[in-house]
């Protein structure tokens, strides 16, 4: 002490020394701390400056300067007072006008630096070996260290007294979420043998250790919010911990925990295939974080993928789309042997590894990641006190460990990267941070990473992030590179919707039901009652997400897509896609999205089964494969069921109007109370609530019958061309299906469906149930169904019969009780699908069902029941006919052949040329003089064309050709209808022209007639000549598409939404003809009064006849009028006797190849 005091006195006398005081030591870090005779004093803001100065003077202090960054803040000195400066500071701090006062304490200033062994931050030499597999972090520090950004580490205890967390302001809002205190320190392991709180300190160090002594975090300038969480998985404390982070200003949240990992070395460990759902409370907390955190920009949440060498997609935590799922890569830039994998992996960050000879996996170059450990003997590294003790795995003092690893270490590393970025660009949203991370990633292990065409690897996500690239900094310190142009917000949201639709793969064998949580190999089927209920639950969630987000249209759409994305991993993704498809089809806001069409989203599902024909017995039905497997026909069937879903369309406005605010809130409460159990929600709804909430589209039941009846009429007409008779209905007396169906390998890979062998038979119980429901429907046709009010039997009508036969929910029909009619249509699809094996067959999906010959037999049975109903209706009497006449009979009708390349002719020009032919010219022949060589005929031409279709890369175990497939499809020469009609009224009239087609030998049966078009014309008094091109047909998806052309990726129409994706394919508008003399067909034109019909004008896209153009079906007459009922006399006789109708025989020719000009 004498030497110390003598030294102080000596130094004080030196000219260049102002003060020499005692050396102090920090009681925690043990490092030296020097006090000066200076003080910092902050007075209350409302105190006058003179009063502040007087108080400082009263303590004998000299004001050195008034500080500019805070009001009434002073830097003062107490010259010659030595240690008394502490007493002065204490006295001032106790004064009522002083907010804070403390002496100036000075520590040695160290530059933040990476430890030599922190190879994950920079190129390093470890154990004598160069390790160059880092994230380029040190190179980014001249530009950002995370200053001003707070990282919340939710983990076990964190040693907040560690020297690396001791800087001023480092610790922010500490919390122990499990105990409920503000002390996140590790707890005594001897007090609770289940608690060993070593993990959190190491994680926090990787993220943001100061780097002042032995280890730096990725973001050493960031603040740390340590949140201790020792509760078990699924506890409410999980959600509370996340909520604490958000509420206290966390910018980034790092979670290196999750469900139990399987033994990574043991392929038979059942844990590998055990799904773990994200608890709803935790999901809501995550949703709160991304929606409300950072003042609405969203907290960036980083989650460890897992260490079980298993699919992270089964982990509801790591696979949530609200988080960044991080895998581990090692010190050679390869996958760490234990790291989880899957579609949900976003990126991989350097971490430890271990060798494993059975896998051929080499030993790593390093022990692992060097990071902070609990101080002294606690933690992973107890240090070494004596030379004879083992070499420590870290430093000798025990404050650092060299063996940290797993995705636990990778995750806070990425959290640190996010902090670096947010220091530079604090206004980025969480999604933008996530995307910037993706763009910064460098491809590693290109040979073994199995990267797809989007640059995604199941092992590394988009690769290993590069910190310098993340900050968009040039390699030399010259500032930022020019920012890349950012797409507009709506375009970005549409891109996210495309991703949700397009990245759906074949569902895992362990996709989960929302309620049961039991593994299932069944993919989503709209025909399954439970799956339908799940879709309704998801629709409700999508609408509530839209409503709860507020803000702009883009923000609300992001909320919708966020909800959809969160549930992609919790349920079969197909169920989410189905619910989202209905939302974007019907919701006005959802229609701003244009999801990719099925033919773009999953082209493999439209691969022809010809590649698999050797696996089933030959059968004549194979001749119809080209038609059943037509890509656009399958797309039509799928999309019709989205436009007219049998669960109804969620209509929140209707529900609020019908139920009132209180009733609507009761429905919302039922949804919330159901948790994630869709059955509970569905069954809790009353009939009134269900009808108000899930509204069936206008004339849903009638159109279900008509659309499928029209498909069957076309199918039977096509069969005639290949020498087959009309399809026979499935025989429920035997349940036998003689024809098999084997999907191609591409379809099996894309869907998981199996094939159905020939000569299968329905299970007896299934056949019996279907037979019983058929008899119930026949009885209902004969006798009616109960009135819901009185119980008396009431006759069915087209709408109620259609609902009953499709089996919509009986509660959705208020007038009559349909509950006794069973579930014929939907269950039929399911039991036929069951014949294809445990995974089901194509009959279970609306997207693929029509490929199977059994579909047509099943629907012929359905159609026969509908025909039984319709034939009991009285014939039409046509007493509302308009004042128009086809004066010359069939001579007033003809077909205008439009040679290829001339299908864009103007309607006015053709009509003018037709008028020039004379009033009595037979429109069945002649040349139109309009400079384009158009001819009048009574014939059409069909032919086959070919197109190339790309297929997926080969997959092990499946025989998939590696070259594009050539697909043959039917097409026709463009044409138009020519008509001449006399308006006998003195004034103009508006009329609807209904055009039908039928094979001549089947024209006596009404349901064989095929609707070809329905259009409106205003007719002036006297003779009118009309032309209507086939491309304007009301039954096709418009604008007309030819498969030889590039198919529009998001619907052929310019207007997004249902109408533009719904309609029969233009290429299949005309049934296949015969070579040689051609096939005999009859065309009929029926004219009706538009003022009675209320038919809408032409719409630019979609099929008015099959899909409707508005919320109300645009025609008041029965669908298919007048062929929806029996005729009083032979069909052609009735048409001949009615002046407003005309028929004409035509030929449909067929060429084996397309015309040369095509």
Chain segment 395-404, per-residue pLDDT in tens: 888 899 999 9
**Both 283 and 215 in a single domain?**
yes
- Which pLDDT does position 189 carry in this prediction? 47
State the residue for tokens 């340590």: 226
Q: Cα(350)–Cα(368) distance, rounded to whole angstroms?
A: 9
CA distances from 324 to 302, 368, 427, 433, 564 (A): 5, 22, 19, 10, 17
* 97 in catalytic set: no
**Both 66 and 208 in a single domain?**
no
For residues 667 and 694, the answer to whether their CB atoms sit within 8 Å is: no
Of these residues, 115, 199, 244, 272, which one is catalytic? 199
Assess whether pLDDT exceeds 80 at residue 933.
no
Higher local confidence (pLDDT), 849 or 1152: 849
State the residue for tokens 């003022």: 1091
**Omega before 1122 within 30 of 0, i.e. cis:** yes
**Both 71 and 211 in a single domain?**
no
Residue ranges making up the domain that contains 30: 2-107
Of these residues, 408, 508, 511, 1033, which one is catalytic? 408
Assess whether pLDDT exceeds 60 at residue 817.
yes
Taking only the tens place, the pLDDT of each residue in 1085-1117 is 999 999 998 765 544 445 677 775 456 788 899
**Both 379 and 298 in a single domain?**
yes
In 3D space, the residue among 411, 407, 26 whose CA is nearest the CA of residue 217 turns out to be 411
In 3D space, the residue among 796, 814, 719 whose CA is nearest the CA of residue 1071 turns out to be 719
* 408 in catalytic set: yes
Q: Cα(494)–Cα(593) distance, rounded to whole angstroms?
A: 5
State the residue for tokens 């004080």: 12
Assess whether pLDDT exceeds 50 at residue 169.
yes
Whether 246 maps to a domain, the answer reads: yes
- Which pLDDT does position 568 carry in this prediction? 67
**Both 902 and 1034 in a single domain?**
yes
**Both 91 and 207 in a single domain?**
no
Tell whether the torsion through CA atoms of 25, 29, 30 and 33 is positive or negative. negative
CATH number, domain of 47, equals: 3.30.70
Query: Rounded to the nearest 5°, which phi and psi values hold at 532?
Result: -65, -40
Q: Find the range with the poorest average confidence among 99-103, 298-302, 534-538, 1024-1028.
A: 99-103
Query: Rounded to the nearest 5°, which phi and psi values hold at 996?
Result: -130, 160
Whether 216 maps to a domain, the answer reads: yes
Q: Find the range with the poorest average confidence among 14-28, 556-570, 595-609, 934-948.
A: 14-28
**CB-hemisphere CA count at 13 Å for 16?**
0
Q: Cα(676)–Cα(535) distance, rounded to whole angstroms?
A: 12
Q: How confident is the model at residue 12 (pLDDT cuts 50, 70, 90)?
A: low
Whether 758 maps to a domain, the answer reads: no
Residue-wise DSSP of 1023-1036:
EEEEEEEGGG-TTB
- Which pLDDT does position 530 carry in this prediction? 85
**Both 100 and 143 in a single domain?**
no
Q: Find the range with the poorest average confidence among 224-238, 434-448, 701-715, 901-915.
A: 901-915
Taking only the tens place, the pLDDT of each residue in 945-990 is 987 766 544 333 333 344 467 788 999 999 999 999 999 999 999 9
Taking only the tens place, the pLDDT of each residue in 863-883 is 999 999 999 999 999 999 999
pTM of the complete model: 0.62
Query: Rounded to the nearest 5°, which phi and psi values hold at 75?
Result: -115, 115
- Which pLDDT does position 3 carry in this prediction? 54
CA distances from 386 to 148, 389, 391 (A): 42, 6, 10
What is the pLDDT averaged over residues 782-786? 95
* 387 in catalytic set: no
Q: Find the range with the poorest average confidence among 273-287, 487-501, 654-668, 906-920.
A: 487-501
CATH number, domain of 308, equals: 3.40.50.200
Query: Which one of 440, 473, 498 terminates a domain?
Result: 440
Query: Rounded to the nearest 5°, which phi and psi values hold at 387?
Result: -60, -30
What is the pLDDT averaged over residues 147-165? 95
Whether 285 maps to a domain, the answer reads: yes
Q: How confident is the model at residue 41 (pLDDT cuts 50, 70, 90)?
A: confident
Q: Is 330 in a helix, a strand, or coil?
A: coil
Taking only the tens place, the pLDDT of each residue in 207-227 is 999 998 889 999 999 999 999
CATH number, domain of 1009, equals: 2.60.40.1520
**C-alpha 865 chain-centroid distance:** 39
User: What are the E-state strand segments in 790-879?
Assistant: 793-794
**Both 305 and 346 in a single domain?**
yes
**Both 100 and 179 in a single domain?**
no
Whether 1105 maps to a domain, the answer reads: yes
Whether 525 maps to a domain, the answer reads: no
Q: Cα(313)–Cα(345) distance, rounded to whole angstroms?
A: 8
Q: Cα(660)–Cα(35) distance, rounded to whole angstroms?
A: 71
Query: Which one of 407, 440, 473 terminates a domain?
Result: 440
Burial 496-533 (b: 16+ CB within 10 A, else e): bbbbbbeebebbbebbbbbbeeeeeebbbbbbbbbbbb
- Count of domains in the chain? 3
- Which pLDDT does position 109 carry in this prediction? 32
Whether 341 maps to a domain, the answer reads: yes
Query: Rounded to the nearest 5°, which phi and psi values hold at 1027?
Result: -135, 135
**Both 390 and 299 in a single domain?**
yes
To the nearest 10°, report the CA torsion of 213, 215, 221, 226: -110
The DSSP code for 212 is: S
Taking only the tens place, the pLDDT of each residue in 354-412 is 999 999 999 999 999 999 999 887 788 888 766 556 678 888 888 999 999 999 999 99
**CB-hemisphere CA count at 13 Å for 317?**
24
Largest CA distance in the chain: 134
For residues 701 and 799, the answer to whether their CB atoms sit within 8 Å is: yes
| Mean of all residue pLDDT scores within the chain | 84
Whether 1101 maps to a domain, the answer reads: yes
**Both 150 and 102 in a single domain?**
no
- Helices within 1061-1130 (DSSP H only): 1090-1093, 1104-1107
- Which pLDDT does position 7 carry in this prediction? 59
**Both 1034 and 1079 in a single domain?**
yes
In 3D space, the residue among 1005, 934, 1003, 1017 whose CA is nearest the CA of residue 973 turns out to be 934
Crossing angle between the packed helical segments 573-586 and 489-502, to the nearest 10 degrees: 140
H or E element, residue 972: strand 965-972
- Which pLDDT does position 195 carry in this prediction? 44
Of these residues, 155, 315, 530, 809, which one is catalytic? 155
What is the pLDDT averaged over residues 144-159? 95
Q: Cα(380)–Cα(384) distance, rounded to whole angstroms?
A: 12
Q: Residue 276: beta bridge partners?
A: 315
For residues 1048 and 1041, the answer to whether their CB atoms sit within 8 Å is: yes
Higher local confidence (pLDDT), 917 or 598: 917
Higher local confidence (pLDDT), 13 or 158: 158
Taking only the tens place, the pLDDT of each residue in 1023-1056 is 999 999 999 999 998 777 776 555 555 543 334 4
Assess whether pLDDT exceeds 50 at residue 1057.
no
CA distances from 1044 to 623, 903, 1067 (A): 22, 16, 10
Query: Which one of 440, 458, 479 terminates a domain?
Result: 440
Higher local confidence (pLDDT), 18 or 758: 758
Q: What percent of the chain has pLDDT over 70?
A: 83
């Amino acid at each position: 002490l004498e030497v110390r005091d003598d030294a102080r006195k000596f130094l004080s006398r030196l000219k260049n020394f102002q003060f020499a005081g005692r050396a102090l030591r920090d009681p925690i870090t043990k490092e030296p701390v020097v006090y000066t005779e200076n003080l910092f004093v902050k007075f209350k803001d409302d105190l006058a400056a003179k009063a502040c100065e007087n108080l400082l003077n009263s303590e004998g202090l000299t004001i050195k300067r008034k500080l500019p960054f805070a009001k009434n803040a002073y830097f003062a000195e107490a010259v010659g007072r030595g240690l008394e400066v502490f007493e002065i500071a204490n006295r001032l701090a106790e004064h009522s006008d002083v907010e804070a006062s403390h002496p100036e304490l000075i520590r040695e200033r160290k530059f933040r630096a990476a430890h030599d062994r922190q190879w994950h931050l920079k190129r390093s030499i470890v154990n004598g070996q160069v390790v160059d597999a880092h994230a380029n972090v040190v190179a980014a520090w001249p530009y950002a260290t995370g200053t001003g950004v707070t990282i919340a580490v939710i983990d076990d205890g964190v040693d907040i007294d560690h020297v690396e967390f001791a800087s001023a302001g480092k610790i922010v809002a500490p919390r122990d979420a499990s105990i409920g205190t503000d002390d996140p320190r590790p707890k005594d392991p001897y007090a609770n043998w289940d608690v060993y709180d070593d993990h959190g300190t190491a994680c926090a160090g990787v993220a943001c250790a100061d780097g002042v002594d032995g280890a730096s975090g990725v973001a050493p300038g960031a603040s740390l919010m340590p949140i201790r969480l020792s509760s078990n998985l699924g506890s409410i404390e999980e959600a509370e911990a996340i909520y604490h982070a958000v509420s206290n200003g966390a910018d980034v949240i790092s979670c290196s925990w999750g469900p139990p990992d399987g033994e990574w070395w043991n392929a038979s460990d059942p844990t590998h295939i055990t799904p773990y759902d994200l608890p709803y409370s935790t999901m809501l907390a995550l949703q709160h974080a991304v929606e409300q955190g950072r003042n609405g920009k969203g907290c960036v949440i980083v989650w460890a993928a897992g260490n079980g060498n298993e699919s992270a997609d089964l982990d509801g935590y790591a696979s949530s789309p609200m988080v960044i799922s991080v895998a581990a890569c090692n010190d050679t830039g390869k996958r760490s042997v234990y790291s989880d994998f899957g579609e949900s992996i976003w990126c991989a960050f350097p971490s430890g590894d271990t060798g494993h000879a059975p896998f051929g996996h080499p030993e790593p170059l390093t022990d692992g990641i060097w990071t902070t450990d609990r101080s002294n003997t606690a933690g992973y590294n107890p240090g070494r006190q004596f030379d004879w003790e083992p070499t420590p795995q870290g430093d000798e003092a025990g404050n650092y460990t060299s063996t940290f690893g797993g995705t636990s270490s990778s995750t806070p590393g990425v959290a640190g990267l996010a902090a670096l970025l947010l220091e530079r660009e604090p206004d980025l949203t969480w999604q933008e941070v996530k995307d910037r991370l993706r763009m910064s990633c460098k491809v590693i292990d290109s040979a073994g990473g199995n990267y797809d065409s989007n640059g995604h690897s199941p092992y590394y996500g988009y690769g290993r992030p590069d910190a310098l690239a993340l900050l968009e900094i040039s390699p030399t310190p010259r500032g930022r590179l020019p920012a890349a142009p950012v797409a507009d917000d709506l375009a970005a949201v549409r891109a996210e919707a495309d991703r949700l639709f397009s990245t759906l793969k074949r569902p895992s064998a362990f996709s989960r039901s929302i309620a049961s949580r039991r593994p299932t190999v069944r993919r989503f089927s709209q025909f399954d009652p439970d799956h339908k209920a799940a879709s309704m639950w998801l629709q409700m969630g999508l609408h509530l997400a839209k409503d709860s987000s507020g803000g702009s249209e883009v923000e609300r759409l992001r909320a919708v897509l966020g909800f959809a994305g969160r549930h992609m991993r919790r349920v079969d993704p197909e169920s989410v896609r189905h619910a989202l498809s209905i939302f974007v089809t019907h919701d006005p806001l959802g229609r701003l999205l244009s999801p990719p069409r099925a033919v773009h989203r999953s082209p493999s599902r439209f691969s022809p089964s010809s590649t698999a024909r050797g696996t089933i017995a030959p059968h004549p039905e194979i001749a119809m494969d080209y038609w059943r497997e037509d890509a656009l026909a399958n797309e039509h069937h799928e999309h019709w069921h989205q436009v007219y879903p049998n669960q109804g369309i969620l209509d929140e406005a209707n529900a609020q109007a019908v139920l009132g605010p209180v009733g609507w809130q009761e429905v919302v409460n039922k949804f919330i109370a159901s948790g994630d159990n869709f059955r509970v929600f569905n069954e809790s709804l009353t009939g009134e609530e269900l009808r108000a909430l899930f509204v069936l589209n206008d004339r849903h039941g009638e159109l279900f019958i008509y659309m499928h009846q029209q498909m069957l009429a076309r199918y039977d007409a096509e069969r005639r061309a290949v020498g087959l008779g009309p399809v026979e209905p499935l025989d429920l007396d035997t349940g036998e299906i003689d024809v098999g169906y084997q999907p191609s390998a591409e379809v099996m890979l894309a869907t998981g469906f199996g094939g159905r062998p020939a000569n299968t038979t329905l299970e007896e119980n299934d056949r019996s149930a279907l037979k019983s429901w058929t008899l119930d429907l026949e009885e209902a046709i004969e006798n009616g169904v109960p009135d819901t009010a009185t119980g008396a039997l009431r006759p069915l009508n087209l709408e109620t019969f259609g609902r009953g036969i499709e089996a919509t929910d009986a509660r959705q029909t208020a007038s009559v009780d349909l509950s006794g009619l069973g579930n014929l249509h939907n269950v039929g699809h399911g039991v036929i699908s069951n014949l294809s094996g445990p995974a089901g067959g194509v009959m279970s999906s609306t997207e693929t069902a029509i490929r199977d010959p059994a579909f047509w037999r099943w629907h012929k049975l359905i159609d026969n029941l509908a025909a039984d109903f319709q034939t009991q209706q009285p014939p039409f009497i046509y007493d509302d006919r308009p004042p128009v006449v086809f004066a010359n009979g069939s001579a007033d009708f003809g077909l205008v052949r439009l040679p290829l390349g001339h299908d864009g002719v103007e309607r006015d020009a053709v009509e003018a040329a037709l008028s020039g032919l004379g009033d009595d010219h037979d429109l069945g022949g002649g040349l139109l003089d309009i400079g384009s060589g158009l001819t009048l005929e009574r014939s059409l031409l069909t032919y086959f064309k070919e197109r190339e279709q790309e297929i997926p890369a080969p997959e092990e175990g499946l025989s998939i050709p590696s070259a594009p497939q050539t697909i043959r499809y039917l097409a026709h020469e463009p044409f138009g209808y020519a008509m001449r009609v006399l308006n006998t009224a003195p004034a103009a009239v508006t009329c609807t022209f209904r055009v039908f087609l039928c094979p001549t030998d089947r024209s006596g049966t009404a349901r064989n007639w095929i609707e070809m078009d329905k259009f409106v014309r205003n007719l002036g008094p006297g003779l009118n000549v009309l032309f209507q091109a086939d491309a304007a047909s009301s039954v096709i998806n418009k604008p007309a598409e030819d498969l030889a052309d590039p198919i529009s990726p998001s619907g052929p129409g310019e207007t997004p939404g249902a109408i533009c994706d719904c309609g029969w394919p233009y290429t299949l508008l005309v049934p296949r003809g015969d070579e040689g003399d051609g096939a005999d067909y009859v065309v009929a034109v029926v004219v009706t009064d538009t003022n009675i019909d209320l038919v809408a004008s032409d719409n630019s896209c979609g099929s008015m006849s099959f899909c409707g153009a508005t919320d109300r079906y645009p025609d008041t007459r029965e669908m298919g009028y007048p062929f929806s009922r029996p005729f009083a006399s032979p069909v052609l006789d009735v048409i001949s006797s009615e002046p407003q109708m005309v028929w004409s025989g035509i030929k449909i020719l067929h060429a084996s190849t397309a015309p040369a000009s095509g």
